[in-house]
Amino acid sequence: MSVSVKICGLRTPEAVDAAVQHGASHVGFVFYPPSPRNLSPEEAGALIARLPDGVTPVALTVDADDATIAAILSQAPVKILQAHGKESPARIAELRGRFNLPVMKAVGIAGTEDVATAHDYESVADLLLLDAKPPRKGLPGGNGLAFDWGLIAEERWSRPWFLAGGLTPDNVAEAIRISGASAVDVSSGVESAPGVKNFDLIAAFLAAARSA
């Protein structure tokens, strides 16, 4: 099985180049000011210009309004919108129609009820991202927390999906084996400090995912 890997929260040309060099299929840019990985649409646009064909740029937003998303898209030509807040299924459908881009909906998982919630988005989202449920006062994602992968081990999904949450070079192969994921997403697990990507960890993560 070939595993797709998304490296999220990239902020520098060197980090983008490392992700591309080691085989990432997707790269994520965070447009959420409270995050240490936040960057401007202009900065993201310059980084996207470095990407070769075949590497998909993704814009992560959190409960963003239409004006905010339009401003991002005017400078950063991403190919997927990632909704990482409390967006409802109706809002996901609205985003797809308004911006004519595929939408990935992130859903925090802590128990079986959250798995059921994720299924509610299958009819409206193009892709799902199954992440660890964030702490009440934490960021919506990128917290380095994992969830019980066994919760989704027997699930079947009608949409492509990514596994996220607390993944590292050391555990990603096991996470893939248990969950059955064919795509994974990492941010804090390849950092030496919040928002600072470690190129050795990027290389190691991609190698471990490919070997799973």
Which among 65, 66, 131, 200 is annotated as catalytic? 131
Hey, what's the torsion of the CAs at 152, 107, 148, 29, to 10 degrees? Answer: 110
pLDDT at residue 145, as a whole number: 78
- pLDDT tens digit sequence for 97-139: 999 999 999 999 999 999 999 999 999 999 999 999 876 665 6
Q: Is the pLDDT of residue 143 over 70?
A: no
Mean pLDDT of the chain: 95
pLDDT at residue 134, as a whole number: 76
Q: Is 126 a catalytic residue?
A: no
Q: Is 63 a catalytic residue?
A: no
- pLDDT tens digit sequence for 68-104: 999 999 999 999 999 999 999 999 999 999 999 999 9
Domain of residue 45, CATH code:
3.20.20.70
Residue 126 neighbours by CB under 8 Å, 6+ apart: 80, 96, 102, 103, 104, 159, 160
What's the half-sphere exposure (Cβ side, CA atoms, 13 Å) at 11? Answer: 19
The pLDDT of 177-194, averaged and rounded, is 96
What's the half-sphere exposure (Cβ side, CA atoms, 13 Å) at 46? Answer: 9
pLDDT at residue 130, as a whole number: 97
* CA-based nearest residue to 36, from 59, 8, 72, 57: 8
* CA-based nearest residue to 121, from 87, 150, 155: 87
The pLDDT of 149-175, averaged and rounded, is 96
Overall domain count for the chain: 1
Instruction: Give the structural domain span for 136.
Output: 4-211
User: Would the CA dihedral through 150, 153, 155, 157 be positive or negative?
Assistant: positive
The pLDDT of 35-49, averaged and rounded, is 97
The pLDDT of 178-198, averaged and rounded, is 97
